[in-house]
Amino acid sequence: MRTFQGDMIGSGLRFAIIGSRFNELITGKLIQGATDTLARHGVSFTDMDLFWAPGAWEQPVVAKEIALTGKYDAIICLGAVIRGETTHHEYVAGEAAKGLAHIGLEHRVPVAFGILTCDNLEQALMRSGSKAGNKGAEAALAALETANLIKEIHSLEANKD
């Protein structure tokens, strides 16, 4: 049996990071977590490009245009949807998740889902660098691993073995 897995070496890989301005107190911390993690895995800062979207709702359309450039090995989407008084947040989170999943499949590029969906600000703070870790860092690791796994799969295709 052969086993394939993506390694965690980032040198030479290019990443697009999409951050949302909405809840920037949180998304700034997610971006910091993601970029620090990529750097610690050998990704050069010149191989990380940051794109600011207004909110999580706009992330899919931005991700689609980024995917169409064909310049990146993975796209890391970072945002924070926090429950409000109405159901607005549910539409925002649901459509962002659906849209981003679709773009990854359609354009054959890993799209990491680092959009927090939280009941309140306290939960979001916990997940963006305090007690519950940093989901931006986790999304970056998932993007790195998947990008490398896809490279492995493509080399199988190229070698026809």
Residues lying near ligand INI in the complex (CB under 6 A) are found at 20, 22-23, 54-58, 79-82, 84, 88-89, 92
Active-site option among 88, 89, 102, 107: 88
Q: How far is the CB of 26 from ligand INI (least distance, A)?
A: 9
Smallest distance, ligand INI to C-beta of residue 102, A: 17
Cβ(84)–Cβ(47) below 8 Å:
no
Termini Cα distance of the chain: 14
Taking the complex as a whole, how short is the minimal distance between the CB of residue 116 and ligand INI, in angstroms?
9
CB of 14 to ligand INI, least distance (A): 25
When the beta carbons of 80 and 111 are compared against ligand INI, the nearer one is 80
* Residue with token string 């700034």: 28
Q: How far apart are CA 25 and CA 144, in angstroms?
A: 25
Q: Which residue is nearest to ligand INI (CB)?
A: 55
Of 93 and 147, the one with the shorter C-beta distance to ligand INI is: 93
Does 88 qualify as catalytic in the annotation?
Answer: yes
Q: Tokens in use for 96?
A: 């962002």
Of 121, 123, 120, 140, the closest CA to residue 132 belongs to 123
CA 142 to centroid of chain Cα atoms: 8
In the complex with ligand INI, which residue's Cβ is closer, 10 or 136? 136
CA distance 3 to 157: 15
Which of residues 7 and 24 has its CB atom nearest to ligand INI in the complex?
24
The span from the CA of 159 to the CA of 161, in Å, is 5
Active-site residue list: 88
